[in-house]
Structure 1
Amino acid sequence: MDRNEVADEGVEAMSAAEKPEKALSLQERIQRILHPEDFMPPKPAVVAMSNDDNMIMGGAVATQEQCVRYLLRNNPYPKLNVSPQELVAYYYEEGSRTGIRPDIAFAQALKETGYFRYGGTVVPAQNNYCGLGTTSATVRGAYFATPRLGVKAHIQHLLAYASTEKPDDNIVDPRYDLVRNSYGEKTLTRWQDLNGRWAVPGVGYGQSILNDYYKGIINS
């Protein structure tokens, strides 16, 4: 069997909805005109969130590619000092180092920065992706020398709320000790627990991270 015959068999094995226009028979073309809904390609399955997606700590479910794709779909020109791919990779590296969910932490960064459009108190030069130290409309908050340090500080700040274990590398989050000393042996486990804590008044803050941003990532 030659290559063309193999290709022809592959086309024949396709459903009518999958075939290119030129490969359709006359009868199939007529049916496409009369019943176009039967020739629509199948929609991608929507992935439902599991209960584990409420947890601040855990492994990633979404891929790095999904994170990048969702960001660029909502903002093709993010104001970043590295590529979107590099920034997402930092979240996954720092998340795996500490046990923080990197995909949802990135969803939180999208919420805090408006898909990296900014426009509020924090400016892109700060490499501050979660509003660290921004306590009012006139206080810009923390500055970080590099995007990687900004991501590390974000992940460490989540860790300060979620675990009594200190990071195994240097602490760059300027408010890490403030949170840890305040909470003592107490920890927060769910993203919803950040309501009124990460943001004030923060009504529905954690739910918004999950429903308005993370769901978009996981279904992208």
Structure 2
Amino acid sequence: MRGKRLLSIVACSLGFCFFAGAAGADAAAVMEAGQADKVMEAGQMDNAMAAGQAENVMAAGSTVVNTDRHRLLRDGKGTGRDAVAEAGSENMASGEAEPKELSLQERIQRILHPEDFMPPKPAEAVMSSDDNMIMGGAVATQEQCVRYLLRNNPYPKLNVSPQELVAYYYEEGSRVGIRPDIAFAQALKETGYFRYGGTVVPAQNNYCGLGTTSATVRGAYFATPRLGVKAHIQHLLAYASTEKPDDNIVDPRYDLVRNSYGEKTLNRWQDLNGRWAVPGVGYGQSILNDYYKGIINS
């Protein structure tokens, strides 16, 4: 009798294992088929309910979603119960509040099309026709100028802080009506983001190549960074306006330009092509597209 009872227990155990294995195989088949609208069957539902996550468990290309913020790859993660428990522990450890409940269809869409749930990227600033003009008011802020400089060169070779230098451009440019933000962009181009490395050296405080007529001629020297900025702004004014600045002229080539142009003026940055730099093909366009555009989008 004892032998028969033992055989009966073994048979029941084997039958239960066979049933559990078949149930697991059925659930895996549902998941591999990508049938996200079916809840896991044959014992898996009980496991999920035991963890309190039955309605959050679904399959989509072997992926189990626990919450809106947590996705668990089921492959190699153990059973469905393990995956749910792991996600629950992660929520408790982080202390995050449960997100708003989404419907099953919304969760499926979140998995299949995650790009639809991404926040929109900020629109890139578009330059206007006014940005072609040498004279005018600033559009970019001083903070944008500093941020763009330091992003491209964290250690500029300057005799003042980047913030001070930018402030000089805005003060001197606003004084005579020259666009200070684009004038600063021109300085970035002329100095290679204040890395220098060419004919002009940092000690000159010469930010626009004033007087540098060849590879052996260093050009003008200015005692302070502010005077260097003032000379740069005045040189732009000599091209763009017939009106002289009210304060002292520190640009050593101001009169040379004014006497050459007479009543004629250059209005656009592109007009500096072949004049400020020789041959200077695309010189003005490069100031706007390669430097100023980066500033207003920084």
How far did 1:37 drift? 2.5
Distance of aligned partners of 1:86 and 1:175 in 2 relative to their CA distance in 1, 3 Å threshold? same
Q: Which runs of 5+ in 1 are unaligned?
A: none
Q: CA 1:141–1:43 in 2, change beyond 3 Å: closer, same or farther?
A: same
How far the C-alpha of 1:39 sits from its partner, in A, is: 4.1
| Alignment counterpart, residue 175 of structure 2, candidates 97, 107, 110 | 97
| Pair 21,204 (structure 1): closer, same or farther in 2 beyond 3 Å | farther
TM-score, length-scaled by structure 1: 0.85
Change (3 A) 1:63 1:23: farther
Once residues 10 and 169 of structure 1 are traced to their aligned partners in structure 2, the CA distance between those partners, rounded to angstroms, is 71
Q: C-alpha displacement at 1:20, in angstroms?
A: 11
Asked which structure has the greater CA Rg, the reply is 2
RMSD of aligned alpha carbons: 6.6
Shift of 1:44: 1.6
The whole-number CA distance in structure 2 between the counterparts of 1:117 and 1:21 is 49
Pair 1:120–1:36, CA change in 2 (3 A) = same
Residue pair 1:11, 1:23 contacting (<8 A) in 2 also = no
For 1:114, the equivalent position in structure 2 comes to: 192
Q: Distance in 1 between matches of 2:99 and 2:250?
A: 57
- Alignment pair present for 1:154 and 2:232: yes
Q: Partner residue of 1:136?
A: 214
TM-aligned CA deviation for residue 214 of structure 1: 0.7
The higher-RCO structure (CA 8 Å, 6+ apart) is: 1
CA contact (8 A) 1:18 1:41 kept: no
Give the percent of matched residue pairs that are identical in Structure 1 and Structure 2: 91
How many matched pairs? 218
* Cα distance between partner residues in 2 of 1:33 and 1:175: 65
In the alignment, the residues of structure 2 paired with residue 10 and residue 98 of structure 1 have an alpha-carbon distance, to the nearest angstrom, of 65
How far the C-alpha of 1:45 sits from its partner, in A, is: 1.2
Cα distance change of structure 1 residues 22 and 217 upon mapping to structure 2, 3 Å threshold? farther
Measured against aligned partners, the alpha-carbon deviations of 1:83-127 in whole angstroms (never above 9, x if no partner) come to: 111100000000110000000000000000001110100011110
Partners of 2:173 and 2:86 lie apart in 1 by 47
CA distance in 2 between counterparts of 1:39 and 1:78 reads 40
Q: Aligned pair in 2 of structure 1 residues 44, 181: CA closer, same or farther (>3 Å)?
A: same
- In 1, distance between residues paired with 2:237 and 2:254? 8
Q: Deviations over 1:1-60 (max 9, x none)?
A: xx9999999999999999999999999998766544244332121111111111000001
Q: 1:33 to 1:200 in 2, by over 3 A?
A: same
Q: Is the 8 A contact 1:195 1:204 kept in 2?
A: yes
Question: 1:67·1:88 contact (CA, 8 Å) conserved in 2?
Answer: yes
Distance 1:28 1:196, change over 3 A: same
Alpha-carbon distance in structure 1 between the residues aligned to 2:157 and 2:167: 17
Q: Aligned partners of 2:141 and 2:98: how far apart in 1? A: 30
Residue aligning to 2:88: 10
Matches of 1:145 and 1:118, distance apart in 2? 18
The change in CA–CA distance for 1:32 and 1:54 in structure 2 (over 3 A counts) is: same
